[in-house]
């Protein structure tokens, strides 16, 4: 049974670094590369950070039911293609999704056993500093992102885990342990089923005449 890990964080919370570190430590995880209508930024490559598509293509994909969840974030659309979750199920591998609060809610409704993790910066001031350090963004965009961050943080209660990213190393380790613990628990359920089958072989023996 494959597991779904949902990771959400306001932009500037250090989520990409944490997710990359998680994938480096647990290389068998499948990372779901979202579809988006926004333009690539900096070094982003089509098919690596996102699949970049036009609005027409995105609308076609919605109509065809290709997304397991999708949402409008800022002025663009973002969506998770069903094939990542299907691939996880088919290959028995766990899947990591980096999606916003709206997407997390939709996914939890469809897959309640998904494990959700919310990551946030230690303060508004720190988040603003990190957003400004990225360079190329205007004051208006920063204000918009801070307002969205506040809205997202208010929803932290819908998540199974919350991580405050004040120390990258510590947050990275906590994220890794959250994922490993959930995987261990899932593996333990399989072991329990196996133990029951082993026990059945004893009971069969004991019920045989003459024993
Ligand atoms: P950015 O444009 O900064 O890469 O991402 C903006 C926001 O969109 C982030 O909060 C990110 O988690 C969210 N996002 C990325 N992919 C998806 C997706 O497939 N679905 C949803 N609902 N949100 C997404």
So what's the pLDDT on residue 89?
92
Domains and CATH numbers, the chain: 4-32+92-207 (3.40.50.300)
pLDDT tens digits for range 62-73: 999 999 999 999
Who wins on pLDDT, 79 or 144?
79
Pocket of ligand 1 contains residue 38 by CB under 6 Å: yes
C-alpha span between 34 and 54 (Å, rounded): 13
Give the Å distance between the CA of 78 and the centre of ligand 1.
6
Band of residue 207 on the pLDDT scale cut at 50, 70, 90: confident
Pocket of ligand 1 contains residue 32 by CB under 6 Å: no
Question: Pairing state of beta strands 76-81 and 35-36?
Answer: antiparallel
Q: Which of 146, 91, 86, 155 lies closest to 121 in space, CA to CA? A: 146
Q: Which long-range contacts (CB under 8 A, 24 or more apart) does 163-167 make?
A: 163/18, 163/117, 163/118, 163/119, 163/120, 164/120, 164/121, 164/122, 165/9, 165/13, 165/14, 165/18, 165/119, 165/120, 165/121, 165/122, 166/121, 166/122, 166/126
CA angle 137, 142, 147 (to 5 degrees): 155
Q: Is the dihedral of CA 150, 106, 110, 86 positive or negative?
A: negative
So what's the pLDDT on residue 18?
96
So what's the pLDDT on residue 45?
95
So what's the pLDDT on residue 187?
86
> How does the average pLDDT of the chain come out, rounded?
93
C-alpha span between 76 and 72 (Å, rounded): 6
Assess whether pLDDT exceeds 70 at residue 210: no
**DSSP letter, residue 123:** -
pLDDT tens digits for range 156-200: 999 999 999 999 999 999 999 999 999 998 888 889 989 999 999
So what's the pLDDT on residue 41?
87
Mutate-to-test residue for ligand 1 from 99, 110, 116, 147, highest number of ligand atoms within 8 A of CB: 99
So what's the pLDDT on residue 137?
77
Nearest CA to ligand 1 atom 9: 100
pLDDT tens digits for range 85-132: 999 999 999 999 999 999 999 999 999 999 999 999 999 999 999 999
Query: For the residues of 41-74, what is the DSSP string, one character each?
Result: -TT--BTTTBEE--HHHHHHHHHTT-EEEEEEET
CB 116 within 8 A of CB 8: yes
Assess whether pLDDT exceeds 60 at residue 211: no
Give the count of beta carbons closer than 10 Å to the beta carbon of residue 51: 16
Give percent of the chain with pLDDT exceeding 90.
80
């Amino acid at each position: 049974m494959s597991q779904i890990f949902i990771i959400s964080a306001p932009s500037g919370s250090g989520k990409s670094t944490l997710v990359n570190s998680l994938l480096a430590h647990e290389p068998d995880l499948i990372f779901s590369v979202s579809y988006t209508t926004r333009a690539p930024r900096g070094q982003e490559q089509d098919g690596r950070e996102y699949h970049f598509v036009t609005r027409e293509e995105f609308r076609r994909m919605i109509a065809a039911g290709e997304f397991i969840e999708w949402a409008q974030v800022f002025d663009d659309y973002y969506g998770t293609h069903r094939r990542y979750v299907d691939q996880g199920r088919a290959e028995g591998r766990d899947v990591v999704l980096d999606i916003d609060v709206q997407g997390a809610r939709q996914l939890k409704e469809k897959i309640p056993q998904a494990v959700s993790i919310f990551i946030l910066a230690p303060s508004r001031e720190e988040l603003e500093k990190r957003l400004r350090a990225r360079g190329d963004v205007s004051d208006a965009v920063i204000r918009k992102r801070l307002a969205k961050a506040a809205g997202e943080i208010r929803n932290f209660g819908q998540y199974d885990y919350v991580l405050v990213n004040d120390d990258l190393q510590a947050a990275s380790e906590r994220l890794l342990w959250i994922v490993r613990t959930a995987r261990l628990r899932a593996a333990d359920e399989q072991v329990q089923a196996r133990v029951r089958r082993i026990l059945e072989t004893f009971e069969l023996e004991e019920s045989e005449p003459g024993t």
